Amino acid sequence: MKTFFFITLFFLSASVNGQQPFEENIETDSSNINIIRNSVYRVYTETFKRTDSVWYNVTYIDDTTKLNTEGWELKNGRQLGTWKEYDSKGNLLFTENHDKHTCTVNPKMFPYHKILEAMKLAADKMITDAYGKQFMDKHVIFNFDCNAYNKYKTKFGCCKDSMWTEDYLGSWTEPMTSKPNSFLLRYEVRLNQADEDFIELGICLDSNGKYVPSEDDMTNNYGFEKVKPQNKNFTIAKNKAIESARKVGLKEQDRTKIDEFLFWENFRKQKYFNGQFRYYITELIEEKQYNQSKNRQAFIKRYIVYVFNPWTGDFIEKKKMKSVREWEDGHGLSTGLIPDND
């Protein structure tokens, strides 16, 4: 079959190190191809029309035979199988298997990596101590998007007051430039192993591997829930939860307006026990778009939320919540689910 294609060529407004980035789009019968070039990389992405498959390939712009990384992913961005990453000299940096959730670095390129490995063991133990090994094995996956910092006090102002400052040093997949003393490790918590959706669990540690409450604890999913010894496993059944919600008021029959997911209710405290897992069934009852100001638009969604205890499956309460999205000149914010007190 003859392949018909068109090429759209345009220049992006931003420049990288003085060189204008360059983007090229190619459409064929079977796929859409996107190629981006900047001063460092050539990024080739081929999205196949008839399958949920994307081929991703990155090479170095000064020599496109030198591979940075490549592999398959789904259209939602989830990477599949084994990916390797190389530096511009051809040195292997790390190998990550997304199916087995493993990531092994080249020790020659990561001189401080053993410190991160020790911190992961400390954080693993905290999760196991809080929820048990069965919970760890069944519901938790380590996220290699963790950060290492150098934390220190700096002087400022005429009175020479001091404040804590953190310099970012690297991560599990970025070689650290010096020895770190502060860490943020992230985990994915799922209701079931087959679920695509997850809650991010953050754990901050000091140089000794001790938990450190931070300001992030009050805004993100950081900290732990204090769980009774007999309830250290998610037992809620989704079908039974829907049935229970209908008994207490859920009327919507259109499943596209009903969502179900694990949720972290943050106590917004700088404490070790700083929240609780809940299972939410949300019923969309109103969508509204309006102008927040002359140039700022807003979109609000209102919900009735049916709240369940995922450890026991028990129905807890029904409450009103909302999500708000605002934007202006291409920039904006989104609140996620928050109490609806209007």
- Pairing assessment for the beta strands 7-11 and 22-27 based on DSSP bridges: antiparallel
- Write down the domain spans for the chain: 1-106, 110-212, 233-342
**What is the chain's length?**
342
Region of residue 249 (phi > 0: left; psi between -120 and 50: alpha; otherwise: beta): left
pTM for this entry: 0.83
Torsion of the alpha carbons at 38, 87, 105 and 125, rounded to the nearest 10 = -30
Per-residue pLDDT of the chain (342 residues; tens, 9 = 90+): 333 333 333 333 334 344 567 899 999 999 999 999 999 999 999 999 999 999 999 999 999 999 999 999 999 999 999 999 999 999 999 999 999 999 999 999 999 999 999 999 999 999 999 999 999 999 999 999 899 999 988 876 666 677 778 899 999 999 998 999 999 999 999 998 888 889 999 999 999 999 998 877 777 888 999 998 888 999 999 999 999 999 999 998 887 788 999 999 999 888 999 999 999 999 999 999 888 777 888 899 999 999 999 999 999 999 999 999 998 877 888 888 999 988
